[in-house]
Amino acid sequence: MTKQRILIVDDEAFYIKVLVELLSPEYQVTLAKSGDQALRLLESDVLPDLILLDIVMPDEDGYQVCEKIKATPRTQDIPVIFLTVKSEVEDEIKGFASGACDYIIKPFSPPVVCARVATHLSLQQTRKQLKEYNDHLEQRVYERTQELSRTQDMAIYCMTSLAETRDNETGMHIRRTQHYVKALAEHLRSSGQFTEQLDDAYIELLFKSAPLHDIGKVGVPDRILLKPGKLDADEWEEMKKHVEYGKAALDTAEKEYGDSSFLAMAKDIVYYHHERWDGTGYPSGLYGEHIPLSARLMAVADCYDALISRRVYKEAFPFETAGEIIREGKGNHFDPVMVDAFESLESTFIAIAKRFADDN
């Protein structure tokens, strides 16, 4: 078994000799005759498990050395015991204030030194084991959380891919709209808008929830969903019900598994992303900022991608035409702030569209 390591920092030959004879049978002992030498030794790869530190030394005193040890992340957890002739109460208080774990006055009793060294090494070993256990536990929790997140992502992707396939769309529509809304949200936050809402957690939820926006289309009959021509009034009313079907599915999930911030945002996106800024959208006729922020973001992303994508009832519009249509919707279809953000990010939208093109 490897011996625990002790660094003795003292410039008095007598005490060095006594300490070495006392401790070397049980421990691996290293010597430093000044504070500077001790600090240099602590830069090596192998650190001591405990430091015995004199206060009165020729260069920096022990208080200064201890403060530097405790101020360095790599060495701050090494226990330091002062072993010194300075016996006033104020000296002890200063020693503990500088970061020492114990204070022994010279001349010392050898059994007392051995007992205190053993005690602090045992405590240090326990702290190390506890830290290793906590680190391992944190890693396991992180891995499990990541696994659950990946499982959630896969389930969402499978469900939304099924919905998109029925609509003759592709999984790339999911990817594109995800990245559009994330780009919009991050741009708005960086420009100082909606900063209370658009924190990292919100944007992550937005990114995960966005693919569910049209999941309700699984409830729309094929004769309507896949119709190559214009829908009549009754067909259009049935098509608009996809937001209700989607919300109903998420409501069922919420009743079964309990509410969550993810489901709450997903429902806002699913149910409200066809609302219009001027109140003429569906299903509730909400207007302005009564429309949830997530749905206002999704409205721009979804519409833009629908414009640049081929559908059974239309050909894809060029990027320039799609951009013009989005700009024309400012203040009527879309939140003006979202359109301003889109204009700043139009080249980013085009890059996302090309990166996740349907033929990739």
CA separation for the pair 170, 357 (Å, rounded) = 10
pLDDT tens readout for residues 221-236: 989 988 888 899 999 9
Position 147 scores a pLDDT of 77
CA separation for the pair 335, 287 (Å, rounded) = 9
Position 358 scores a pLDDT of 80
Give Cα separations from 150 to 2, 156, 201, 245, 320 (angstroms): 42, 10, 16, 26, 36
Architecture of domain 5-136: 3-Layer(aba) Sandwich (3.40)
CA angle, corner 161, sides to 157 and 165, nearest 5?
Answer: 180
Q: Do residues 148 and 313 touch, judged by C-beta distance below 8 A?
A: no
Position 185 scores a pLDDT of 98
Position 261 scores a pLDDT of 86
Same fold, 5-136 and 167-355: no
Spans of all domains in the chain = 5-136, 167-355
Give pLDDT < 70 ranges for the chain.
1, 149, 151-155, 157-171, 359-360
Structure tokens at 330: 């400012």
Position 167 scores a pLDDT of 59
Position 253 scores a pLDDT of 82
pLDDT tens readout for residues 342-359: 999 999 999 999 999 986
Position 152 scores a pLDDT of 67
Architecture of domain 167-355: Orthogonal Bundle (1.10)
Q: E strand or H helix at 358, and its extent?
A: none
Position 164 scores a pLDDT of 61
Q: How many separate helices (H) and strands (E) can be counted in the chain?
A: 14, 5
Position 236 scores a pLDDT of 95
Position 5 scores a pLDDT of 95
CA separation for the pair 170, 36 (Å, rounded) = 67
